[in-house]
Amino acid sequence: MRVTSEYSRPRVACIVGTRPNFVKMASLITEFQQRGNFDALLIHTGQHFSPEMSKVFFDDLELPLPDIHLGAGGGTATQQTVGIMRELERTFASTRPSLVLVVGDVTSTLSAALTAAQMRIPVAHVEAGLRSFDRGMPEELNRIVTDAISDYLFVSEQSGVTNLLAEGADPGRIYSVGNVMIDTLLRFRTKAGLSRILSGFGLAPGSYAVATLHRPSNVDDPLRLAEMVKGLTEISRLVPVVFPVHPRTRKRIDEFGVCLEHLILSEPLGYLDFLHLMSNASLMITDSGGIQEETTILGIPCLTARENTERPITITHGTNRLVGVNSAEIAAAARQVLTGTKPRMAAPDLWDGHASERIANILEQKLGCFPDADVSSRCVAAVS
């Protein structure tokens, strides 16, 4: 554990725990390191602890090894929350961060924000304000609570600003900065092009679909999971379907006895391999929020197997379409995409690869790196 540091530099505790966290934090850590004005402390909660869900992403994303690994993975969400908070309380007491930076909407995000708030440590939330308006999703509760106790709300799309203001958030805490996940995608897209994943599957660019399913609300329900897999099987009659299976999904498939026929199955893929696979697909089928955003930038048609999305800009300005979990509707939508033309959409505002720079600009001023600087010329405030 790295405890001592130059306390003339603000210490920022950067919390990660799952694959999406790693992707979002990668661009921020790189930006902090390049500037040298922060003491960035990378803390891995251990929420995703298997090598294919964790270590490979650190390697692909050129992330430094975590300064601290809490090893708090496993168990239910409640058990994870308690375990992470217990370990973080000790960690924050010994490392004394000036700020706790959290990303996304997973258990680690909420646990770190709650612990920091209770210890009177300022919290910054990246991807603030996103709402599905479905409180049956644990991620929605995580977002709402994290935003309510955060001091800095970094928003990736306009709906986030609208939602936060409607909930009574102080406008002075809200900043439109863009999308850090897109920063990482644009940074590694060329490197991902060197991947040999297509030849490994015996596929040609544009000749296949890719599917990912992991949301508890989908895969923990045997009927919903079976219905979605049936939809993928129907699509496989049109084009090959590559299905990298999340550990949680694999466990439920085995538990429920769901039949997987005619699909190209694999273990979870590293970031670079998956980005290359996704970039060359003719179609994505997913319940992931991040993939909705990435396909918007890549111009790949995306069918989201949910009734709602917390990222509406991927529908209004992107390539995404909500199709629910009915197998017939999923297959019909896929058939329409595969026989139609690819949508061409402009990138959403501020999804330009510079979101991490904007966040660093704000934190430099707010944490006193440049106390006399005019932050207004270096970041984009949501409201005046």
Which are the catalytic amino acids?
214
Phi-psi region at 85: left, alpha or beta (left = phi > 0; alpha = psi -120 to 50): alpha
Give the C-alpha separation, 277 to 209, whole Å: 9
Judged on CB neighbours under 10 Å (0-12, 13-18, 19+), 7 is: exposed
Sheet harboring 264-266: ordered strands across?
A: 264-266, 241-244, 209-212, 283-286, 302-304, 320-322
Give the C-alpha separation, 37 to 97, whole Å: 14
Q: Which residue, 181, 250, 245, is CA-closest to 211? A: 245
- Those residues whose C-beta lies under 8 Å from the C-beta of residue 10, and which sit 6 or more positions away, are 37, 38, 39, 98, 99, 363, 367, 368, 369
Judged on CB neighbours under 10 Å (0-12, 13-18, 19+), 277 is: buried
What three-state secondary structure class fits 383? coil
Spacing of C-alpha 374 from chain mean position? 31
DSSP state of 353: S
Type of residue at 309? T
Judged on CB neighbours under 10 Å (0-12, 13-18, 19+), 152 is: buried
**CB-CB contact of 61 with 23 (8 Å):** yes
Sheet harboring 99-103: ordered strands across?
A: 68-69, 39-44, 11-16, 99-103, 123-128, 152-155, 174-176
